[in-house]
């Protein structure tokens, strides 16, 4: 199931489902998107709320998402930022509303669990992409903001390997849906009703602030749960700010990836600019993709329907 694509002048709902956004960065990001795409914005009622490390109570954050889904003026939903707290609300979301009002849902990091829950409960395609406050309004980059074009033109998406990093782990070619997101969030989904399903899928992973020993542990959990064996290919994004504090007593990140990913012998690439990085190239989850490592090609079917 795909949402309708956007048109110039459309209204976008801006939600804070995890931590509270930096308000100055939020304003900067809204201005830049408005100037580039001539869109309008409706801000969630809790957008300025602070409840500890959360952007309001669970009830406030859930209501903001439900309200945006039911609002006919709102044509797409963009997360202001990530942080912490989305896993607290995914089991309380009304997925029948998502089915009844399928809309673009865009974000990453802590929003990973929302992507997985929505896809597995409804089949709706969602987007891993740079967020308004934490990316567009802060670490601004032309490639990042240009990623939003795919919501308007409905064209297939090709990762620009002539401009961004694309390194080979295992050669080969594979076709399937891409699933995944922030690795620590994927691991936290194990044993829940929204556990990541990688059967026959291309698995995408990335993370921030986790040393190699932590990534090693996360990947071991996915391996033990059968998630690595179930996948048919791998796209590895950045592991940002992950340098070991004591390199002499640590494996390198490449050694960790070689042990868990390269040994499987399935097509795999790494260091793609998707996730916690600048630039940040957006991709849809849940549409068909071609990963041809030898040809340095990642091509993904559009995640929206254009009338």
Residue 307 has pLDDT above 80, yes or no: no
Task: Report d(CA 289, CA 221) in Å as an integer.
Answer: 26
Name the residue range of residue 300's domain. 157-305
Both 114 and 169 in one domain: the answer is: no
Q: Is 236 helix (H, G, I), strand (E, B) or coil?
A: strand
Average pLDDT value for residue range 153-174: 96
Tell which of 118, 153, 188 closes a domain.
153
Across the chain, the runs of DSSP E, i.e. the strands, are 3-4, 11-15, 40-43, 74-79, 104-107, 126-128, 157-158, 167-170, 173-182, 202-208, 233-240, 268-270, 283-285, 288-292, 297-300, 304-305
Residue 89 is predicted with a pLDDT of 96
Average pLDDT value for residue range 249-262: 97
Query: Model confidence over 194-203: pLDDT tens digits?
Result: 999 999 999 9
Task: Report d(CA 118, CA 93) in Å as an integer.
Answer: 9
Residue 181 has pLDDT above 80, yes or no: yes
User: Domain tally for the chain?
Assistant: 2
Task: Report d(CA 218, CA 203) in Å as an integer.
Answer: 14
Both 163 and 145 in one domain: the answer is: no
Both 174 and 300 in one domain: the answer is: yes
Both 58 and 149 in one domain: the answer is: yes
Task: Report d(CA 296, CA 160) in Å as an integer.
Answer: 9
Tell which of 119, 153, 187 closes a domain.
153
Residue 140 is predicted with a pLDDT of 84
- Tell me the catalytic residues: 109, 206, 276
Residue 105 is predicted with a pLDDT of 97
Could you tell me the CA-to-CA distances from 102 to 53, 123, 152 in Å, in that order?
Answer: 29, 10, 16
Question: What's this model's pTM, rounded to 2 decimal places?
Answer: 0.95
CATH number, position 274: 3.50.30.60
Both 180 and 283 in one domain: the answer is: yes
Both 22 and 75 in one domain: the answer is: yes
Both 78 and 105 in one domain: the answer is: yes
Residue 306 has pLDDT above 90, yes or no: no
pLDDT averaged over the chain?
Answer: 96
Residue 51, number of CB atoms within 10 A of its CB = 15
Both 119 and 184 in one domain: the answer is: no
Residue 193 is predicted with a pLDDT of 87
Average pLDDT value for residue range 130-136: 96
pLDDT bracket for residue 73 (50, 70, 90): very high
Query: Model confidence over 203-223: pLDDT tens digits?
Result: 999 999 999 999 999 999 999
Both 195 and 90 in one domain: the answer is: no
Average pLDDT value for residue range 283-306: 96
Residue 18 has pLDDT above 80, yes or no: yes
Average pLDDT value for residue range 121-127: 96
What whole-number percentage of the chain has pLDDT above 70? 100
Both 134 and 162 in one domain: the answer is: no
Average pLDDT value for residue range 132-137: 95
pLDDT bracket for residue 289 (50, 70, 90): very high
Residue 103 is predicted with a pLDDT of 97
Average pLDDT value for residue range 122-150: 95
Tell which of 153, 183, 207 closes a domain.
153
Pairing label, strands 268-270, 233-240: parallel
Residue 220 is predicted with a pLDDT of 98
Both 25 and 144 in one domain: the answer is: yes
pLDDT bracket for residue 256 (50, 70, 90): very high
Residue 139 is predicted with a pLDDT of 86
Both 252 and 201 in one domain: the answer is: yes
């Amino acid at each position: 199931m795909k949402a309708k694509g956007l048109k110039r002048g459309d209204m976008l709902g801006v939600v804070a489902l995890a931590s509270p956004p930096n308000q100055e960065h939020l304003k900067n990001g809204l201005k830049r998107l408005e100037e580039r795409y001539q869109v309008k914005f409706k801000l969630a009622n809790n957008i300025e709320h602070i409840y500890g490390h959360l952007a309001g109570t669970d009830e406030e954050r859930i209501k903001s998402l439900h309200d945006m889904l039911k609002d006919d003026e709102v044509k797409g939903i963009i997360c202001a930022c990530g942080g912490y707290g989305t896993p607290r609300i995914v089991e309380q979301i009304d997925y029948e509303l998502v089915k009844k009002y399928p809309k673009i849902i865009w974000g990453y990091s802590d929003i990973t669990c929302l992507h997985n829950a929505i896809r597995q409960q409804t089949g709706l395609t969602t987007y891993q992409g740079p967020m308004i406050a934490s990316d567009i309004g802060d670490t601004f980059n032309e490639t990042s903001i240009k990623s939003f074009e795919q919501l308007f033109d409905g064209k297939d998406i090709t990762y620009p390997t002539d401009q961004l990093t694309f390194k080979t782990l295992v050669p080969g070619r594979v076709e399937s849906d891409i699933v995944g997101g922030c690795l620590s969030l994927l691991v936290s989904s194990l044993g829940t009703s929204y556990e990541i399903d990688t059967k026959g899928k291309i698995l995408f992973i990335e993370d921030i602030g986790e040393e190699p020993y932590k990534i090693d542990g996360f990947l071991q959990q996915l391996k033990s749960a059968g998630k690595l064996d179930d996948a048919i290919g791998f796209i590895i994004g950045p592991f940002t700010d992950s340098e070991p504090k004591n390199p002499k007593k640590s494996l390198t990140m490449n050694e960790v990836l070689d042990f868990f990913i390269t040994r499987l012998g399935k097509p795999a690439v790494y260091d793609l600019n998707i996730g916690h990085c600048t630039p940040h190239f957006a991709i849809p989850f849940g549409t068909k993709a071609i990963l041809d490592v030898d040809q340095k090609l990642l091509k993904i079917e559009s995640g929206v329907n254009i009338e």
